[in-house]
């Protein structure tokens, strides 16, 4: 927010009615104001402001710059922001006009109130993500239970995995994993509802657990092995000797 400043001319105007000095009075640290610098076109041609040069970044010139017809007046409105250091200040503004080599100098002066304490811009403190388990996926592929998960804010933090019942002869639970996935071969008799708990381990916390995820997976029954039809031994023997027996019988009959 800017406050419009009523300037006080401390000295007689210089060329084109621009005052040599504008007194801003007392300002609070960091206070913003709009300073109006008067300009008078006392010539016979159009007066065009080419550029406005300031001595520091606390003063911002306007855009676009004014073009003043003969005999008219205008104001150059500058955005000014007081510094953080208490005490008197002086800022120099140099205004350049078309077809003129030398610029017109105007000085801004004032006083910043308060003790000489440096103001520091507030910095937003980044929010620290709490440890947690996210993006949990579980499913049965054939006779394998596949678990996938992710830990935040850092990957591959230790996770304790607990199952509601034994489902594998190869893997014993509970177990601790420092990865992000686990493939569990299922026993032949493993079936039904299975409750799974993932606990994120953090020894620095009371209880040693930073977060938990609990979910349920349905394990289908194992399919019965289809019996393959096999030809009996006597059938194989019959197929081998059948042509010879038929030939012998034919010869006997004839």
* Tens-level pLDDT at each residue, the chain (254 residues): 444 444 444 444 668 888 888 999 999 988 988 888 899 998 889 999 988 888 777 677 777 888 999 999 988 888 888 888 888 988 888 888 888 877 888 888 999 987 654 444 455 444 445 678 878 888 898 899 999 988 887 777 889 999 999 998 888 899 888 888 999 999 989 999 999 999 988 776 777 888 888 989 999 988 765 344 445 565 556 666 666 666 666 666 66
Alpha helices in the chain (DSSP H): 233-253
Domain count, the chain: 2
Give the pTM.
Answer: 0.40
- What's the N-to-C CA distance of the chain in angstroms? 126
Other CB atoms within a 10 A radius of the CB of residue 134 amount to: 10
Burial class (CB in 10 A: 0-12, 13-18, 19+), 146: middle
Q: Are residues 148 and 207 in the same domain?
A: yes
- Whether 226 is covered by a domain: the verdict is no
- 178 and 96 in a single domain? The answer is no
**Range(s) of the domain holding residue 156:** 132-219
100 and 62 within one domain? yes
């Amino acid at each position: 927010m800017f406050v419009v400043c009523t300037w006080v001319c401390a000295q007689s105007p210089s060329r084109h009615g621009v005052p040599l000095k504008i007194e801003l009075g007392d300002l609070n640290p960091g206070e913003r104001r709009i300073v109006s610098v008067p300009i008078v076109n006392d010539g016979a041609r159009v007066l065009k402001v080419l550029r406005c040069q300031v001595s520091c970044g606390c003063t911002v010139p306007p855009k676009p710059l004014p073009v003043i017809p003969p005999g008219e007046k205008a104001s150059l409105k500058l955005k000014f922001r007081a510094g953080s250091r208490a005490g008197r200040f002086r800022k120099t503004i140099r205004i350049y006009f078309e077809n003129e080599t030398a610029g017109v100098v105007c000085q801004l002066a004032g006083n910043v109130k308060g003790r000489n304490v440096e103001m520091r811009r507030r910095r937003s403190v980044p929010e620290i993500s709490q440890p947690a388990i996210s993006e949990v996926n579980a499913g049965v592929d054939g006779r394998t239970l596949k678990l996938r998960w992710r830990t935040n804010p850092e990957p591959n933090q230790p996770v304790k995995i607990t199952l509601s019942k034994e489902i594998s002869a190869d893997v014993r639970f509970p177990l601790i994993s420092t990865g992000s996935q686990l493939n569990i071969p299922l026993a032949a008799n493993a079936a039904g509802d299975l409750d799974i708990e993932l606990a994120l381990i953090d020894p620095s916390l009371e209880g040693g657990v930073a977060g938990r995820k609990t979910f349920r997976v349905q394990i289908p029954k194992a399919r019965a092995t289809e019996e393959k039809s096999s030809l009996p031994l006597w059938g194989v023997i019959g197929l081998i000797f059948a042509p010879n027996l038929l030939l012998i019988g034919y010869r006997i009959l004839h």
